[in-house]
Structure 1
Amino acid sequence: MVTCLATLLLSILTLTLAWWGWVVRRAQLQRDLPPGPKPLPLLGNLLQLPSGRLDRALMELSGRWGPVFTVWLGPRPAVVLCGYKALREALVLQADAFSGRGAMAVFERFTHGNGIVFSNGPRWRTLRNFALGVLKELGVGTRTIEDRILEEAACLLDEFQATMGAPFDPRQLLDNAVSNVICSVVFGKRYNYGDPEFLRLLDLFSDNFRIMSSRWGETYNMFPSFMDWIPGPHHRIFKNFQELRLFISEQIQWHRQSRQAGQPRDFIDRFLDQMAKEQQDLESHFQDETLVMTTHNLFFGGTETTSTTLRYGLLIMLKYPEVAAKVQEELDATVGRTRAPTLEDRARLPYTNAVLHEIQRFVSVLPLGLPRAVTRDTHLRDHFLHKGTFVIPLLVSAHRDPTQFKDPDQFNPTNFLDAQGQFQNNDAFMPFAPGKRMCLGAGLARSEIFLFLTAILQKFCLLPVGSPANINLTPQCTGLGNMPLAFQLRLEAR
C-alpha cells in the first residue's frame, strides 16, 4: 500500500514538474513570438489542426491572427508565413536570414542533418554549390538532359500504348519514367520498367511520401519520442529507409570498383572524385554518409514531387476534357503530330504553358514547403524573430491568395494568360519555394512536366473510367505532400 502510494505521488510530482517546465519554457519562448492561438500544455494547438487539413487549418487561423503568426506543434512553436506578401518579405527580401533548414523529426532520425536538403551552415552551402555545378556539367538545364527526357518520354508512350483501351492506373509508369531521368544523372543508367529491384525502390519512395504526408507522419514530427513507442505505419518509414540506404550503398560500392579516375560518368563518380581530393582534410564535408544522404535527397526530390504533379495533371485533364482538347488543338497547330514537342516550343504554346503552371498552382504538391529556420536575429514586419526560430513557409497560401489569382480555389488556366492570350508569369507562383532554399531540381522538374505531359496529350485522348463530374481532385492526404486519390484512365489514339 505504501509502495503504491509512493509510486502515485512520484508520478504526480513528475507530471507536475514536466507541466511546470513546459509553462516556464512556453513563457520564455512566447515573449517575442508573433501572436497565435492559445496552446494546451504539451499538445500545443493540435486540436485546432484537424487531420488531413493542416494547410487549410493554418490558412483559416491566418484569417484571425494575420499573415505572420505562431502555432504550437506539440511542445514546439512554429512561426507560420501565410500569403504571398509575407512569403516574399521573408524568403526573398530576407533570403539569407530565412535560409536555414528547420528540423523535422521524421527526416532528422535518418539524415542527422546530413545531405543537401536537411543540412545547414557551411555543409549545406558547400554541398549545394557542388551539386549545382555537377548537375550543370551533367547537362541539367541544357539540351543534353532534354534529349534524355525525350528518350524516356518515348519509352513511356510505348508503355501507355500497350494499355490501349484498357483501364489502368498511371502511377507506377509515371514513377518509372521520372525516376529514370534522375537515375541517368545520379547512377549513369536507366532501368527497365519491369525491373523488380527498380519497382521495389519506387514503391519504397512512394510509401514513405504517403506516410510522411499522413496524420501519422505529422504526429511523429510533433511527438517523436512518444511515437517511437506507439505501433503504427510510421515505423515503416525507417524500415523503408534502411532498405533504400542499402540499395544506394551498393550502387556507391559498384561505382568505387568500376570507376576510372578523371573519367566521371555521373553524380556519384564526381562525388567520389571530390572525396579523393579532400581525403586529407579532416573537416571535409565529402564523406561516405554525406554521399548516401545526398543521393537519397536527389532521388527522392527528383521522383516523388514531379511524378505526383504529372499524375495530378492527368487527373485534372480527365476532369476538364475541354482544357485537354484546347491544349491538343494548340499542339497540333504549333508542333503537329510527326515530331515530339521540345522545350523550344514552350514559348509558342502559351495556353499549354499556362495550363501546366495552373496545374502546379492548383495542386501545390508541397503545400507547407519544407520548414525553414532563421539563421540570425531578424525582424519581420512588427515581430522580432530569434536565431533558430522554426518557420513554416505556407506555399499553398500564395497559390490560393485572392489578391494574386482569380478564383484561387478553382482550376483556371487564365491565371497565367494576359488579355491577349499570351503566357504571363506570376511572382506568387512558387511550387519550388523561393529564396536561397529553392528546390535544387526546379529546372529539371519544369522540363519533365512540360515534355512528359505534352508528349502524352499529343499522342492520346484521355478517357475517364466513369463520369468526369465524379472525378475527385481532393488530395488523399495533406501534410508533407498533396497526393491525389488513386484513379484509372483509358487511352485512345489521336
Structure 2
Amino acid sequence: MLGISEFLVALIAFLLTVQFLKLQWAGRRLPPGPTPLPIIGNLWLLGFNLHPETLEKLAQIYGNIFTLWLGQCPVIVLHGFQAVKAGLTTNPEDVSGRPTTPFFKEKSTEKGIVLTSGHTWKQQRRFGLTTLRNLGLGKRGLEQQIQEEARQLVEHFLSERGQPLDPSLAFSRALSNIICALVLGRRFAAEDETLQRLLAANACLIQSASSISERLYNTFPWLLDYVPGPHKKVLSCHGFLHCFAKEEIRRHKESGIPDEPQDFIDYYLAQIIKCKDDPTSTFDEANLIQVILDFFIAGTESTATTLRWALISLVLHPDVQEKVQKELDAVLGPSQLICYEDRKKLPYTNAVIHEIQRYSCIAPVGVPRQCVKDTTLLEFPVPKGTIILPNICSVLSDPQQWETPRQFNPTHFLDKDGNFTSREAFLTFSAGHRVCLGEQLARIELFIFFASLLQAFTFRLPEGVTEINTERILGGLLQPHHYKICAVPR
C-alpha cells in the first residue's frame, strides 16, 4: 500500500501529466512552436524574457509565425516584415485588443488608452488624438514648446563646457516637460523634486515591463501578491504616478474649467461634463488618471532612449556626424532655429535619424495585441483572446527589406540621388489600428532635438575612453547602459 509521500508524488505526477496533455490539446491548431512544460510553459526556454535574439533563433526553427506558452497562456509571435504587416493590417480590427494579464490589470484597471480594448479604447484614443491636435500637434504652437525645450537642453550641455556628462536625465527631463506642458499646462524647473520623482517612477515602470518579475507575477499572481520583490516596487511607482495625476486633476477642478481650455486636463474635464448624461460615455476621472499616466509613460522614455542611442551612433560613426553637421551648416547655418519643416531640406540628417531608430530598435515587441474575435493569421485559425506579439526588431532587421540590416547605414533611407525616401518596412511605431498614438509628436521631437544638438556640438568619447558599451538592457524598452560623453561646442 502506498504511503502518504508516495501518494503525493504520484498525485503531482498525474496532475502534471494532465496539465501537459491539456497544453498539447489546446495548441493542436495553433502555429507550431517549442513544446511547453506544465505550469511554466516555455518560460524556461526564454530565460523568463522575450529577448530579440531568442525569438530570432526560434523563428529559424519554427518559421515566421510560431506559438510560445508564457505559463499556461499561448502567445503567437509574428516574425519578419511580411508576417508582421499581414498579421496587423489584414484584419486590423480583429487584433486590436489588449491582453488583460494580472500585471496589466493591477496597473491599469482596464482604463485609459494603452491597455484598454473595445469601446473604451476607441473613445479614449479618438478623444486623445483630437485633443492633441487642438493643443497644437502639427502646428506652430507646440513646435515652439519643443524648440524651447531643445534650447534649454543645449544650454545645459553648454554649461558642462565639453566635460564628460551623462545625457540620460537631461533628455528625460526635457521630453517630460513637453508632456507636462501638453497635459498639465505647465513645466517643471530642472531641480524640482516632483519632476525628479516623476522621472524615477517612470523609469521604474519602463524597466519592469517584460521583466522576469512581470512574467512570474502573470504566472503566479495568487502567490506574488503576498511575497516581497521587485513587483512591489513597480506597483509603488505606479501608485505615486496615480496620486500625482489625481492631485493635478484636483488643482484643475479648483481653478474652474476655463471657457478656452489650455491643456489636456482642461479639455477632458469639459468632456466629462458634456457627456455626463450619455450612458455610453467612458469619460470619467478614473479614465483621465490613466490617460495622463499613458502620456507620461509612453511619451517620455521612448524618445529619450532613442536620443541616448543617437549619441552612441554618432561617436561610433564620426563620419556620419560630420556629414550631418556639414548639411546643417550649408542649409541652415550655425544659429538658425530648427523647424520640423526643415527636414525636407535636410535629407541626410533625416535619413540618419530614421536609421538610428531602425538600428537601435528600442521596442522589441511593443505592447502585446489580443484577438477580439476568432480570426485567421497567415492561414492559421486563431481563437478569440489569443495574445499576438509582433516582433518589431525582426522587421527592422529583415534581410529581405534592408540592404545591410546588421550595419548602421543611413543610405537605407536615401535614393541614388541623395534624396530622402521612406521605407515600408520602417515600422518603428507599429502598424494597424493600434499604431503609436504619439508618432507625430515623437517624430517632431526627435528631429528638432537631434538637429539642434548637432548644430551646436560635436560629440566625442571622454579623453582616454576608447569604446562605449553597446549592449542592450532588456525591459519595456531596449535601453543602453549609462555612459558619459563630451558635448564639445562647435
- The amino acid that maps onto 1:198 is L
Of 463, 484, 489, 1:488 maps to 484
TM-score scaled by length of structure 2: 0.95
Structure-1 residue corresponding to 2:329:
332
Structure-2 residue corresponding to 1:107:
104
Distance of 2:48 and 2:347 partners within structure 1:
38
Q: Does 1:348 find its partner at 2:345?
A: yes
Counting only pairs closer than 5 Å after superposition, residues 362-377 of structure 1 correspond to structure 2 as: 362-377=359-374
Q: Does 1:286 find its partner at 2:283?
A: yes
- The amino acid that maps onto 1:299 is F
Distance of 2:215 and 2:409 partners within structure 1:
31
Q: 1:488 to 1:198 in 2, by over 3 A?
A: same
Which sections of structure 2, spanning at least 5 residues, go unmatched?
none
CA contact (8 A) 2:23 2:38 kept: no
Of 3, 14, 23, 2:20 maps to 23
Q: 1:10 to 1:86 in 2, by over 3 A?
A: same
Q: 1:217 to 1:329 in 2, by over 3 A?
A: farther
Secondary structure at the counterpart of residue 404 of structure 1: coil
Distance of 1:435 and 1:338 partners within structure 2:
40
CA contact (8 A) 1:84 1:401 kept: yes
Of 120, 123, 126, 1:126 maps to 123
Structure-2 residue corresponding to 1:198:
195
Q: 1:226 to 1:62 in 2, by over 3 A?
A: farther
RMSD of Structure 2 on Structure 1 (CA)? 2.1
Q: Does 1:441 find its partner at 2:472?
A: no
Deviations 1:193-242 (A, max 9, x none): 11111111111101221232543334434443344344432221001111
Structure-1 residue corresponding to 2:415:
418
CA contact (8 A) 1:103 1:371 kept: no
Secondary structure at the counterpart of residue 397 of structure 1: helix
Identical aligned residues as a percent: 37
Secondary structure at the counterpart of residue 270 of structure 1: helix
- The amino acid that maps onto 1:147 is Q
Structure-2 residue corresponding to 1:295:
292
Q: Does 1:170 find its partner at 2:163?
A: no
Deviations 1:68-113 (A, max 9, x none): 1101112211000000000111112221111111234432212121
**Superposed displacement of residue 165, structure 1:** 2.2
Which sections of structure 1, spanning at least 5 residues, go unmatched?
none
Counting only pairs closer than 5 Å after superposition, residues 86-485 of structure 1 correspond to structure 2 as: 86-465=83-462, 470-476=467-473, 478-485=474-481
**Superposed displacement of residue 54, structure 1:** 1.5
Secondary structure at the counterpart of residue 369 of structure 1: coil
CA contact (8 A) 2:245 2:292 kept: yes
Secondary structure at the counterpart of residue 164 of structure 2: coil
CA contact (8 A) 2:355 2:412 kept: yes
* 237-246 or 96-105, which deviates more: 96-105
Secondary structure at the counterpart of residue 428 of structure 1: coil
TM-score scaled by length of structure 1: 0.94
CA contact (8 A) 1:54 1:479 kept: no
CA contact (8 A) 2:98 2:368 kept: yes
Distance of 1:226 and 1:87 partners within structure 2:
35
- The amino acid that maps onto 1:55 is P
- The amino acid that maps onto 2:212 is R
**Superposed displacement of residue 279, structure 1:** 2.1
CA contact (8 A) 1:178 1:303 kept: yes
Secondary structure at the counterpart of residue 470 of structure 1: coil
Aligned length: 490
Distance of 1:9 and 1:247 partners within structure 2:
55
